[in-house]
A and B are shown apart, each in its own frame.
Chain A
Amino acid sequence: MAEMKTGAEIVLECLVREGVEVMFGYPGGANLPIYDALNFYPQIHHVLTRHEQGATHAADGYARVTGKVGVAMATSGPGATNMVTGIATAKMDSSPIVCITGQVGTSAIGGDAFQETDVTGVTLPVTKHNYLVTDVKELAYTIKEAFYIARTGRPGPVLIDIPKDVQNAKCEFVYPEEPIDLPGYHPAERATDEQVARALALINAAKKPVILAGRGILLSGATRQVLEMAEKGNIPITCTLLGLGGIPASHPLNMGMMGMHGEAAANHAIQEADLLLAFGMRFDDRVTGKLATYSPNSKKIHIDIDASELNKNVRVDVAINADLKVVLEQFNGDVEAIDRAEWLGAIREWQEDSSQRDIINTDDGIFRAAQAIFDVWRFSKDNNPVVVSDVGQHQMLEAQYFKHEKPHTLVTSGGLGTMGFSLPAAIGARFGTPQEREVWVIVGDGSIQMTLMELMTAVQENSNINICILNNGYLGMVRQWQQLFYDERYAETPILSPDYIKLAEAYGVQGMRVTNRDDTFAALEEARKHNGPTLIEFVVEQHDMVYPMVPAGADLHQMIRRPAK
């Protein structure tokens, strides 16, 4: 007879078998049994975040750098509802996390008990799948299924809600060794021969093709295959925000980021292209601009693991629902070697036009956010660091100026655009990154104040992260829109900050302030030397904008450019 275990023990037994080494969470009344059992599972390191939102972002950050499933835990009611933003963030960016929430006892469900919320109801639209486990005998299988669903197909967040009495109930524990087999869930794999033939015909006939590389190239592990195709056919590549790092930034075929704040040359190439190869991306409005005029003369091939993304925003000529890596292996051998010199030449001309407006080397005594970010890159690039950026101007500047050469080196909230993401996500990413590699946080003065309390989590974990706050005294991206589209009426965008140096001191963090570009390297060197969290405040020019910019709803090539000097 198998050993009897409580539901709480079964949860942890299953986590151990999933290879979980670290989890992020917050205890409370409805998950006390699990936390009590945690005393007997020292192989799982629990990180006490200061807010459940932080726990989900940390699990997400861990998942994004490791490719493994991140785990977050919270109690019922407010603990669980605090997770919603983090879950939605993971959903939009296809990040595999499993959230385990305590729930009031099964007999109390539906009665508005203390700290009761319909958590499976609340999280239904923002999870890939969720469960309310009402029988302890179903717990082990459910947890295994949850991890399987989270990491396979298009990854995403899965939530398991476990009533307190189920955590306390005992049953014979037999771990389900058989593989998960679900009637309604079969992630796609291969393309059909007919799809391959049609795609190949378009690729080999194209004179002006462009590869659009999204996060799918990372999730599918297809970065090598994408590059192989590009190099063979001399096909230029542009990345989405979440695709950055998938293709080395320094690669001559890589045009950089596309979209609203993308490289003008990349957007130009998309509009001029006769073939778009959309790989693991979803034609978000931030990358297409106005749909009616988007890449008007191109044929389009779209490969995505999620069939519901095909023909959702942009109508395509060949829609392939499959694993990108498998598909590219299916047809890379038949991609013809074509030099496409004329097309690459045209792109090079557009690129030169862009670089003339470059501001990183302007020496007019004004310290710009872009320059600070560029300097962080120059300083840290040889270390192959992980950069965790937040949301706003600094996020776009990071994408433009920090040159990512390796996959999984950028962690940022793309789809949901969650301010406050970076600090907790960096704490998670730190656990998933080898100690010799640095973790840099690029965050604005608005974003840092959204989840500032996680600074203490970083201290408690002696988390070796370097937090670079770009302080321009504004909610800069919103101010940019007010400046451009609301006649400079700055409603509620000026924002005060605390004295970050004193704040750092209060938290026991090493804090530095840089007001002049000449001092950046010294501060960065200091941060590097320090073991544990450091905070550098860069006091930067207040009114600088992110250029180029495609105004919302405009044609992709109608970019607002930085005014020439």
Chain B
Amino acid sequence: MKQTLIALVEDKPGVLNRVASLFRRRNFNIESLAVGHSETPGISRMTIVTDEEEKLRRNVVRENLLKLINVIDVDDVTEQPKVVRETALIKVRADATKRAEIMNIADIYRARIVDVATESLIVEITGDSGKIKSMADLLRPFGIIEMARTGALAMTRGVVTPRDTANYAKYAANGNGSI
């Protein structure tokens, strides 16, 4: 199973660079990295998927992230029950004769058509990476012109959050930039 990490980091200039640099210099591979604001001002949240599978190696990755001063907390949620979602925008070659067929596929995947032009459609799909891959495979024969993916977001199920980030609110005032 791919490693999924949730990292809470200070929202300061250069923090994304610190995380990316760490992965590069330690020779860890990032499969995807998604970052944005968390529920607490001044604290950003990263979901990082790596190709490490073995438990001790996974812990080394986590501990290295924790070593970064601006990284507040890291949860390895690989083995926890969680919701993982990713969004993709896929631009498919589609003239009038193909539209209905593509819209059918989109329906099955509960995807949405968000743009229609004479020669193309944009399909927006949200799901885990398997679902996105499966739909992309179905669309490929029509001709995929472009595809953009957000990378995975993860959240554990139930009321237990990785950490009570309210504890970190007092630090949030120090936040003076964006990642």
Contacts and interface: CB of A to CB of B under 8 A. Distances in A.
A184 interface: yes
Interface residues of A, number: 20
Contacts of A183: 10, 72, 168, 171
A306 B25 CA distance: 17
Nearest to A184: B72
Main secondary structure of the interface of A (DSSP, over half): loop
A91 to B, nearest CB: 12
Contact of B17 (A124, A129, A135, A149): A124
B69 A129 contact: yes
Contacts of B17: 121, 124
B59 interface: yes
B70 A184 contact: yes
Contact of A184 (B14, B64, B73): B73
Interface string A309-346: 01110010000000000000000000000000000000
B10 A184 contact: yes
Contacts of B63: 307-308, 310
A308 B69 contact: no
A185 interface: yes
A564 interface: no
B96 to A, nearest CB: 49
A297 B21 CA distance: 37
Contact of A311 (B56, B66, B67): B56
A307 B66 contact: yes
A128 B13 CA distance: 17
Contacts of B10: 183-184
B9 to A, nearest CB: 8
Interface in A177-191: 182-185
B67 A315 contact: no
Nearest to B171: A183
Nearest to B59: A311
B69 A185 contact: yes
Contacts of A120: 14
A312 B63 CA distance: 10
Contacts of B85: none
B42 to A, nearest CB: 9
Contact of B67 (A124, A125, A308, A310): A308
8 contacts: A120-B14, A125-B25, A129-B69, A135-B176, A184-B10, A307-B67, A310-B59, A311-B59
Interface of B: 9-10, 13-14, 17-18, 21, 25, 56, 59-60, 63-64, 66-73, 168, 171, 176
Query: What are the nearest 5 A-B pairs in CB distance?
Result: A308-B63, A307-B63, A184-B72, A183-B171, A129-B69
Interface of A: 120-121, 124-125, 128-129, 132, 135, 149, 182-185, 306-308, 310-312, 315
